Structure 1
Amino acid sequence: MASVSSLGVGSGLDLESMVTKLMSAERAPIDALTTKITSAQAKISLFGTLSTKLSALQTAADTLQFPSRLAATKATSGDTSIVTATSAFGATAGTYGIEVTQLASAQKSFTQEYSAGTTFSPGSLSFTVAGTPAASIDLNEPGKTSYTLDEVRDKINAAKIGVTATVVNTSSGGQRMILTSDNSGAANGFSLTSGLTASGGQANLDGANFDTTTVGLARASAQDGLIKIDGIEVSSTTNVFTNVAGLSITANKVSTPGVSTSLKVETDNDKVVSAVKALVDAYNGIASTIKSNSAYNSSTKTAQPLNGDFAARTISSGLSGTLTTVPTELSSATYTTLSQLGVSLTQTGQLTLDETKLRQALSKAPSDVLTTLQAYGKAFSNSAGGMLNNDGVLTKRVTSLNDAVKIYKDNQAALEVRMVAIEKRFRAQFTAMDKLVAQFKSTSSQLTQMFNKSG
């Protein structure tokens, strides 16, 4: 095959340009496939965006659907230094009187003060923790004849029996061991029986020798926290009281005897409004993406990637249908549509939220409003989830587009192989023609010379 630089030399014709134009025409099917690939990939990208936005819609809908996520009540304490609280969705609205009569504490006990350098004989420690004998702690290492108080502490902590030991140095130069239960509550106390003998004739390390008389030691007994709710006593092993009328109450300090602190439970309107707004924003995000990418410009005769796309129309109509279809569980409800709660559909296909209308409904009948929001939350979650699952319209559409792109690329690859053969054929034909024309020109030149001489 003649080189590109020599093609047309013999004939004097621009054969290289002719080959280029012919190959450009031959490549038209490949270029058409490139256009299809670009279009399909643009749609795949947009459906990826819609997938993200549908997931956001489902998340917003689930917040409304599940009471545990909305938790649309709030608890306000009259004195947070005494008590604070959080409320679950099911908390009954009202005002309660809370009196903290006792704070929960973990047992904390001190040994007597041992003089500096005190050691203890080998032996074992036996703890009973929360009413159950713990594993015996043995201090009988071969060849070891004594243990310091620090070594005893380390053995206790290594055993992880539910009691933590610390050693403090006293101002007089001695040492004390502090034993503290890991858990508060009356049932989580401990006792100690020891076989360790202290050196120097001092009292043995034993629970019977805990110091209960020295003033200033921050001892604590194992006790439950106690509060009264409207005069009814409630106990807890900690200072957090859970599942009390849908509340989680934290006691911070003991009340003045006989004086209660108010705890007001009410619907958290701000949280409800915020949750509804999140649903509206998520819906609008999907609607605007589909609308802006489905437009057609009649002047330029160009269409956006999703123009006429069946899946995009299905998603749009599906969400619109969810908005306008009353859930079956609301057939006899006070509020059957979202428009009654301030959520309206505009002519542009966007949702708007009238917060004033929603707050008025919440103030009038909070439980009815929440019932309606839960039902629509469920409906939108199911709708979005159905589009996103493996059999959903969005997933199927993306799979179809990916399959199409693969076919287009396979066809392109096959055509590219064909293009090589076609260009080779064109160049061979033009090279032959170039040579033939060159021969004709040479013969013509020779004849001309002959005629000129004969003349």
Structure 2
Amino acid sequence: MAINRISGMASGMDTETMVKDLMKAERKPLDNLLRKKQLDEWKRDDYRDMNLLLATFRDTTMRDMRMQSTYLKKTVSSTNDAIVTAKQKGNPSLPSYVVENVQLAIAGKPHAKTFDATGVSNPEASLGNKFELKIAGDSGVEKTIQVASTDSMNSIISKINSVSKDTGVVASFNPTDKKLVFTATKTGETNMKLTVDTTNGGKNTIGLVDYQGKSGVADIPGKATINGTELSIPSNNFTYDGMEFNFKQSTAPGQNYTITSNPDEDAIFKSITKFVEDYNTLIDKLNKKISQARYKDYHPLSDEEKAAMDEKVIEKWEEKAKSGLLRRDPMITETLNQMRGAIFNPVSDVNKKFDLLTEVGISTTRPGAEGSATNYLDKGKLYIDETKLRKAIRENGTDVMDLFTKTSSSTDPKTKFEESGIAQRLYSTLGEITTKITKKAGSVGMTDESEYFTMGKDMKNLKDQIKQWERRMDKIEDRYWRKFTALENAMNKMNSQSAWLAQQLGG
């Protein structure tokens, strides 16, 4: 029920201010709930930010590091680039390939028919032609094209090409030499038939005439002997055993040339270096987040408090209020521990000389540094001994690959972890971690009232409490106004009586 709020006209009191001051004390529990709501939202956002960092690292860096192709990159060279070159296409099984007895493949030619369209000056302009064109290719399917007076050369060609899947014939026009060319869509000897009908007042100014013929040259496959195996090559770019060979010249009898494939040390080193850099960046951000100072005296500001402050002051205040919400957070701390476990535990069932990162030159000790203090201060960051890592890549590339990429078929979690390569472990562990954080803090797009994450449920309950307190505050404020309004009414009545009495006595 609405109240007529009478403000101090009879009593002389500042009722508005008095009610506001009384409500400040009443609102303290509600203000605390609103502050908690804001803190929960900031904390939720912090979790989501950390989760995004973890998911991005998993889906980019670790996705590549767990793939064998990252460690199988090759540099390829030829003893004679003028005869044959090659490049890695897959995973070559051999370090070298001897090429001899090369006979180049000869590319076939499609059936083509050219017409002089000298009457066409602008391929975009309407030609004023009107005729019917029937087209049939080697498939035997005949299609009819209706050419209208509004058609340009380009639109006629578009109509012809729109049925090329059926006819096996395409058309093109060169505005420079004004040649209209019909070409079969496949090489080799094929049939082509074109019929032009200009009856019924038709007109044809683009040089088309009836045509029927058979032409074209089929592909002639080549030959090459690779490592003693004679192969038929359909084209001069030919893939064999994960290598794409590009044959440029036929060879004379007795001539042979060697393609050599070696591990691309620089590319593999660069991939591992990027992994280390990305890992260090990630754990640095996680460590900073759980080490942030917490300023408990800086609470979330209310709208009333913000109204009394400068914008820059608000910004600095909220920076401190947001700080340290994940300080010593058990979930993020456990994340770091799990990542370290995946990195530093030995991989079983691989070459024992290369079952730890330290054995390929990757450790938590800075090159040239000694003592545990350095390790402690760096909080688990990785460092690379370039000489040692390059040597491992160059001389034991397969072992390096296994250290990172080995997979396990075990269904026992402990055994699976022990048998999995470092990159496989991290990828799997990060998947579990991001799922766990999402269950707690949700993901971008989820509403605060979502029942699908723990904090969402808590925030929904908190929001319900806030609504209850807001209704309670409205009732309390109405009660205060009723009391003051009653006081004003009583004083008005008393003042009226006093005035009447004074008037009577004065009379």
Query: 2:37 aligns to what?
Result: 37
Query: 1:102 aligns to what?
Result: 104
Share of identical aligned residues, percent? 20
Query: 2:481 aligns to what?
Result: 427
- AA paired with 1:371? D
2:466 to 412, 428, 439: 412
Query: 2:353 aligns to what?
Result: 334
Query: 1:357 aligns to what?
Result: 388
Asked if the contact 2:137–2:168 (Cα under 8 Å) also holds between the matched residues in 1, the reply is no
Deviations 1:320-373 (A, max 9, x none): 22112234443x543111222233234332432313321121112111111112
1:376 to 413, 416, 422: 422
Query: Tell me, what secondary structure is at the counterpart of 1:304?
Result: coil
Bigger Cα displacement from structure 2, 312-321 vs 232-241? 232-241
Unaligned 5+ segments in structure 1 are 117-121, 128-133, 142-150, 184-188, 197-202, 211-218
- AA paired with 2:225? K
Query: Tell me, what secondary structure is at the counterpart of 2:56?
Result: helix
Query: Tell me, what secondary structure is at the counterpart of 1:106?
Result: coil
Shift, 1:420, TM fit: 0.8
Asked if the contact 2:114–2:182 (Cα under 8 Å) also holds between the matched residues in 1, the reply is no
CA distance 1:20–1:157, shift in 2 (3 Å) = closer
1:33-432 correspondence runs (5 A): 33-59=33-59, 60-68=61-69, 71-78=72-79, 80=81, 82-88=83-89, 90-92=91-93, 94-98=95-99, 100-109=102-111, 127=138, 134-137=139-142, 158-160=163-165, 164=169, 182=186, 189-192=188-191, 205-207=212-214, 210=215, 220-242=217-239, 244-251=240-247, 253-258=248-253, 259-297=255-293, 304-330=324-350, 332-345=351-364, 346-347=375-376, 348-354=378-384, 355-374=386-405, 375-389=421-435, 392-398=436-442, 399-432=453-486
Query: 1:213 aligns to what?
Result: none
Asked if the contact 1:33–1:408 (Cα under 8 Å) also holds between the matched residues in 2, the reply is yes
CA distance 1:19–1:412, shift in 2 (3 Å) = same
Query: Tell me, what secondary structure is at the counterpart of 1:32?
Result: helix
CA distance 1:81–1:428, shift in 2 (3 Å) = farther
Shift, 1:38, TM fit: 1.9
- RMSD over equivalenced CA pairs, Å: 4.6
CA distance 1:383–1:432, shift in 2 (3 Å) = same
Separation of aligned partners in 1, 2:194 and 2:295:
99
Separation of aligned partners in 1, 2:22 and 2:432:
51
Asked if the contact 2:143–2:163 (Cα under 8 Å) also holds between the matched residues in 1, the reply is no
Asked if the contact 1:10–1:437 (Cα under 8 Å) also holds between the matched residues in 2, the reply is yes
What TM-score, normalized to structure 1?
0.71
CA distance 1:167–1:274, shift in 2 (3 Å) = closer
Query: 1:215 aligns to what?
Result: none
- AA paired with 1:234? L
- AA paired with 1:29? P
CA distance 1:225–1:34, shift in 2 (3 Å) = farther
Higher Cα Rg: structure 1 or 2? 1
Greater length-normalized contact order (CA 8 Å, ≥ 6 residues apart): 1
Shift, 1:376, TM fit: 1.3
- AA paired with 1:366? G
Separation of aligned partners in 1, 2:19 and 2:160:
92
